[in-house]
Amino acid sequence: MNRTHPPILIWLRRDLRLDDNPAIFHAAKTGRPVIPFFVDDDKHLGGAARWWRGRSLLALDSALRSLGSHLVVRRGDALDQVMSLAQESGATALHFNRRLEPRGLAIDAKVVTAARAAGIEIVEHHGNRLHDPWTLKTLKGDPFRVFTPFWRRLAESYQPPAPCPAPTALTAPSTWPGASDLAALEEHAPWTAGMTTQWRPGEAGAQAMLQRLPEKLADYGTARDRPDIEGTSRLSPHLAWGEISVHALWRQLSQEGSPSQNGYLRELGWRDFNSHLLYHFPRLPVDNWNRQFDAFPYRSAPTQLAAWQKGLTGYPIVDAGMRELWTTGWMHNRVRMITASFLIKDLLLDWRDGEKWFWDTLVDADLAQNAGNWQWVAGSGADAAPYFRVFNPITQGIKFDPEGTYVRRWLPELAKLPTHAIHEPSTASLSELSAAHVSLGRSYPLPLVDHAKARLRALATLKALGTAA
Ligand code: FAD
């Protein structure tokens, strides 16, 4: 390969893959030496996401090494690091896949201005969402605020771009710039043990999950709401870190023509919709999208917040979800809705308290998805579930975990309860409780609140706010 040309920098962020990665593909296609790099500049990353990122970067580095290249990791201010890499390597071009969150956009704008001023060619690619948020507008020319018309427009207009096959070799620069120690990005804290057994961060892990997609999609329409079975793809952390291309996923699903593909594609549509919202309303993670909710009198109850975080609310489906989250860094979507509704409506605590906890404990933590969904449940978001929709943690448990399999898996202290009482232990007889070694209030908490009364309190609070539910 031709080594006389100056190298090209490839800036990787949440696109930690070789296959269908436009920035890598187009830089490699020039035949020039390439320098793939990552800048560790995000101090706001949650603990679980930091664990995932460390392993994913190691996996990407080893994949690059098999192509005669490797990943340069730098720490510190992104602008400083990009300019110093360019200066050290003599690179005259920078390729990256666009990112859409407010912080990333602001950093990229500064880097592009400085790099161009230094005579460095900038090549931006579209690689991590189905659409660029400025390309889809309502008939009036505004951003979309309601999912259904957004999805209709996206589904009718979207055409997957041509695939970008993974490179078979990469030209290395004659000298490599200095790099931080990649292993130092790994998290080994004891709380990561459950995640290590559950997940295989990196592109190979994503591909392994993808192989199992057809079996999962067979009954996706109904199975996707069942936390007691593996009815969903569990691809969210791989998508959140860009270890799999959403375009490649769409291409594969469209070829398969499986009966549930439309349902699955629609969920990918929700992922793009939340990114659309965050791009057009950058304060989505901090402000009520519907500002009428600014006057909502959320309570402050640190003890109840801690009980929710630890899975000690006395409502088994809620507690099982919170334990699953703490152990594996992931929670089933149906249970995310139930646990979020319990925090906001049963405890009347601020959705931002929940968003923060999920941000720190989710391996798929994504600013747009987390904020968009928390506000959806709170009723304050765009296209939100109407506030009066208060999830009943007992009937939801009975409906979506009918045998109590999910609760038994995550709450071993209730495992021996008979199924009729597994979602409402107080309905077990004294002999059933004693046979199951359950002592309510001691081995398992009594309910933090009476759901029926809490529901009425939430609705009355909303009514007093005068918000159209
Ligand atoms: P599947 O059912 O297999 O869906 C396929 C893909 O579609 C997912 O991988 C995901 O990328 C996307 N998707 C599915 N459901 C949603 C949804 N409701 N909103 C947006 N995208 C969706 N998802 C995240 O990726 N990161 C988050 O930080 C996040 N926070 C959430 C917070 C709350 C309160 C709620 C209710 C949901 C949140 N979700 C988040 C969405 C959803 O719970 C997960 O994407 C889903 O559970 C991932 O599991 P899966 O890959 O098996 O989904």
Tell me the CA distances in angstroms from 280 to 134, 343, 386, 467, one per residue in order: 9, 27, 22, 24
Instruction: Give the tokens for residue 278.
Output: 């965050």
Distance CA 64, CA 167 (A): 10
Q: From the CA of 34, how far away is ligand 1's center (Å)? A: 34
Written as one letter, the residue type at 72 is V
Q: What is the CA radius of gyration of the chain?
A: 24
What mean pLDDT is predicted for residues 302-306?
98
pLDDT at 469: 46
φ, ψ of residue 39 to 5 degrees: the values are: -110, 120
Written as one letter, the residue type at 185 is L
Q: Give residue-wise pLDDT tens across range 429-469.
A: 999 999 999 999 999 999 999 999 999 999 999 888 875 44
Residue 147 beta carbon below 6 angstroms from any ligand 1 atom? no
356: left (phi over 0), alpha (psi -120 to 50) or beta: alpha
Residue 366 beta carbon below 6 angstroms from any ligand 1 atom? yes
Asked whether residue 259 carries a pLDDT value surpassing 70, the answer given is no
Residue 274 beta carbon below 6 angstroms from any ligand 1 atom? yes
Residue 216 beta carbon below 6 angstroms from any ligand 1 atom? no
pLDDT at 466: 76
| Ligand 1: residue whose CA is nearest its atom 33 | 373
pLDDT at 4: 64
Residue 374 beta carbon below 6 angstroms from any ligand 1 atom? yes
Instruction: Tell me the pLDDT of the chain averaged across its residues.
Output: 94
Helix, coil or strand: residue 465: helix
pLDDT at 149: 97
Position 2 confidence tier, pLDDT thresholds 50, 70, 90: very low
Q: Give residue-wise pLDDT tens across range 340-359.
A: 999 999 999 999 999 999 99
pLDDT at 186: 77
What pTM was computed for the model? 0.96
Helix, coil or strand: residue 94: strand
68: left (phi over 0), alpha (psi -120 to 50) or beta: left
Q: From the CA of 369, how far away is ligand 1's center (Å)? A: 7
Q: Give residue-wise pLDDT tens across range 41-52.
A: 998 999 999 999
Identify the weakest region by mean pLDDT among 12-26, 74-88, 245-259, 338-352: 245-259
| Ligand 1: residue whose CA is nearest its atom 21 | 271
Q: From the CA of 175, how far away is ligand 1's center (Å)? A: 42
Quick one: which atom of ligand 1 is closest to the CA of 362? Answer: 28
pLDDT at 194: 86
% of the chain exceeding 90 in pLDDT: 85
Question: Which stretch of DSSP H or E encloses residue 338?
Answer: helix 333-341
| Ligand 1: residue whose CA is nearest its atom 10 | 236
What mean pLDDT is predicted for residues 175-193?
82
Mutate to test the pocket of ligand 1, among 308, 333, 363, 367 (most ligand atoms within 8 A of CB): 333
Helix, coil or strand: residue 72: strand
pLDDT at 467: 55
pLDDT at 192: 81
Q: Give residue-wise pLDDT tens across range 382-392.
A: 887 777 789 99
Q: Give residue-wise pLDDT tens across range 208-228.
A: 999 888 888 888 988 999 999
What mean pLDDT is predicted for residues 262-286?
96
With 0-12 CB in 10 A as exposed, 13-18 as middle and 19+ as buried, what is 180?
middle
pLDDT at 261: 84
Q: Give residue-wise pLDDT tens across range 23-35.
A: 999 999 999 999 9
Position 255 confidence tier, pLDDT thresholds 50, 70, 90: confident
| Ligand 1: residue whose CA is nearest its atom 44 | 333
| Ligand 1: residue whose CA is nearest its atom 34 | 374
Asked whether residue 297 carries a pLDDT value surpassing 70, the answer given is yes
Asked whether residue 204 carries a pLDDT value surpassing 90, the answer given is yes
Compute how many other C-beta atoms are within 10 angstroms of the C-beta atom of residue 172: 18
| Ligand 1: residue whose CA is nearest its atom 43 | 333
pLDDT at 187: 76
pLDDT at 38: 98
What mean pLDDT is predicted for residues 54-58?
96
pLDDT at 368: 98
| Ligand 1: residue whose CA is nearest its atom 49 | 234
φ, ψ of residue 40 to 5 degrees: the values are: -85, 90
Question: Which stretch of DSSP H or E encloses residue 73?
Answer: strand 72-75
